[in-house]
């Protein structure tokens, strides 16, 4: 059976992403920290790890990118999960009973309008699934948890309401990390990290290696370089496999112009059909709900 590590309590959205990518017949191993996930994969304790890297509402998960720099694992694939928050109550509870809601502070923030509209008192917890686990262990009718629907299955709670998030287009992008080399797919992405010399036009020249070859960049972001104040690492994703001729030439050009380059992985790109469908069908309503 495939063994996959993730950070969080059973029922976390990372575990939901594992089932989404690998299917239900998988051994999901909960870890306390993201560092333990990377260590476990690097040491061979599991074949894969599932780590969040970006959310459409909250932005990048900085620690995941830092750990990718520090460990000798590669990105095996990516997957995108539509985050749908669910209000879970104790067995026998009804929506009218609820006075307090518990969840991770980010989930509470993503459901702020719903919480205010219902007059609930938010109570931050250490994570979404942990709040559901705690409610299952100590059921109180006036308390509900905001978590994934998987928590209902795992902890025997009662779904009081689905889709309570304020932003309908709430997606989290995950990297599947592994020591294995991923198969080359029809659509591929490549993730790299690089550092430019401290001189005028350096970043412009680095990016030009991709632009002049018609390579589409899907993400670029800078992060402070740890232990080197005022220096920055650029994280860049582009469409294509690093062994494709034009991509290979671009990387070679980047190597000549940069002071540091690390290939984080070339991997199958996640299907975009579901995201595009949601944007077409429900995007307008979702955008309106997200305006404060």
Domain end (from 153, 182, 211): 182
For residue 178, being part of any structural domain is answered with: yes
Q: Is the pLDDT of residue 184 over 90?
A: yes
Q: Give me the residues paired with residue 237 across strands.
A: 191, 219
Kindly report which listed range (109-113, 137-141, 178-182, 273-277) carries the lowest average pLDDT score. 273-277
Catalytic residue among 38, 174, 194, 210: 174
- Structural domains in the chain (count): 3
For residue 278, being part of any structural domain is answered with: no
Specify whether 98 is located in the same domain as 44. no
- pLDDT band, very low/low/confident/very high, at 3 (cuts 50, 70, 90): very high
8-30 per-position pLDDT tens digit: 999 999 999 999 999 989 999 99
Check if 196 is active-site: no
Specify whether 52 is located in the same domain as 194. no
The pLDDT of residue 290 is 34
Rounded distance between C-alpha atoms, residue 198 and residue 179, angstroms = 33
CA 275 to chain centre: 15
Specify whether 174 is located in the same domain as 55. yes
The pLDDT of residue 289 is 35
CATH number for the domain that contains residue 28: 3.40.190.10
- pLDDT band, very low/low/confident/very high, at 221 (cuts 50, 70, 90): very high
Specify whether 177 is located in the same domain as 70. yes
For residue 222, being part of any structural domain is answered with: yes
Specify whether 13 is located in the same domain as 76. yes
CATH number for the domain that contains residue 229: 3.30.70.260
Specify whether 8 is located in the same domain as 44. yes
Specify whether 47 is located in the same domain as 94. no
| CB < 8 Å & 24+ apart, contacts of 247-256 | 247/190, 247/213, 247/215, 249/209, 249/213, 250/209, 250/210, 250/213, 250/215, 251/192, 251/209, 253/209, 254/192, 254/194, 254/206, 254/209
Whether pTM > 0.85 for this model: the answer is yes
The pLDDT of residue 228 is 81
Rounded distance between C-alpha atoms, residue 126 and residue 105, angstroms = 8
For residue 59, being part of any structural domain is answered with: yes
Specify whether 197 is located in the same domain as 251. yes
SS3 26: coil
Check if 6 is active-site: no
- Domain of residue 128 covers 86-162
For residue 285, being part of any structural domain is answered with: no
Specify whether 94 is located in the same domain as 192. no
Specify whether 174 is located in the same domain as 215. no
Catalytic residue among 9, 79, 172, 196: 172
Q: Is the pLDDT of residue 280 over 70?
A: no
For residue 141, being part of any structural domain is answered with: yes
**Residue positions counted in the chain:** 292
SS3 44: coil
Q: Which residues contact 44 (CB under 8 A, 6 or more apart)?
A: 179
- pLDDT band, very low/low/confident/very high, at 132 (cuts 50, 70, 90): very high
Count of C-beta atoms within a 10 Å radius of residue 35: 15
CA 126 to chain centre: 17
For residue 283, being part of any structural domain is answered with: no
Mean pLDDT for the chain? Answer: 92
69-80 per-position pLDDT tens digit: 999 999 999 999
Q: Average pLDDT, stretch 213-232?
A: 91
Rounded distance between C-alpha atoms, residue 205 and residue 250, angstroms = 11
223-279 per-position pLDDT tens digit: 998 878 888 999 999 999 999 999 999 999 999 999 999 999 999 999 875 555 565
Specify whether 156 is located in the same domain as 207. no
Rounded distance between C-alpha atoms, residue 169 and residue 186, angstroms = 26
Specify whether 47 is located in the same domain as 102. no
For residue 279, being part of any structural domain is answered with: no
């Amino acid at each position: 059976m495939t063994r996959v590590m993730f950070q969080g309590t059973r029922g976390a959205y990372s575990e939901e992403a594992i089932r989404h990518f690998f299917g239900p017949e998988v051994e999901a191993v909960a870890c306390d920290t993201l560092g333990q996930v990377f260590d476990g994969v690097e040491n061979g304790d599991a074949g894969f790890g599932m780590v969040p890297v970006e959310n459409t509402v909250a932005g990048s998960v900085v620690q995941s990118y830092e750990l990718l720099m520090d460990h000798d694992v590669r990105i095996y694939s990516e997957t995108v999960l539509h985050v749908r928050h669910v209000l879970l109550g104790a067995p026998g509870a009804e929506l009218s009973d609820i006075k307090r809601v518990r969840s991770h502070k980010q989930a509470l923030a993503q459901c702020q309008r719903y919480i205010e509209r219902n007059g609930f008192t938010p109570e931050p917890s250490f994570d979404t699934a942990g709040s559901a686990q705690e409610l299952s262990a100590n059921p109180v009718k006036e308390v509900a948890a905001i978590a994934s629907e998987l928590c209902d299955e795992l902890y025997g709670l009662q779904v009081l309401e689905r889709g309570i998030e304020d932003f309908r287009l709430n997606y989290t992008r995950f990297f599947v990390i592994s020591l294995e080399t991923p198969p080359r797919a029809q659509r591929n992405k490549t993730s790299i990290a690089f550092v430019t010399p401290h001189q005028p036009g350096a970043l412009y020249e680095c990016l030009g290696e991709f632009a002049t070859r018609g390579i589409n960049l899907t993400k670029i972001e800078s992060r402070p370089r740890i232990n080197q104040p005022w220096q920055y690492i650029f994280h860049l994703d582009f469409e294509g496999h690093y062994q494709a001729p034009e991509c290979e030439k671009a990387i070679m050009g980047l190597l000549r112009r940069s002071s540091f380059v690390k290939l984080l992985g070339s991997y199958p790109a996640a299907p975009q059909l579901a995201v595009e469908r949601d944007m077409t069908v429900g995007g307008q309503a979702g955008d309106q709900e997200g305006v404060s």
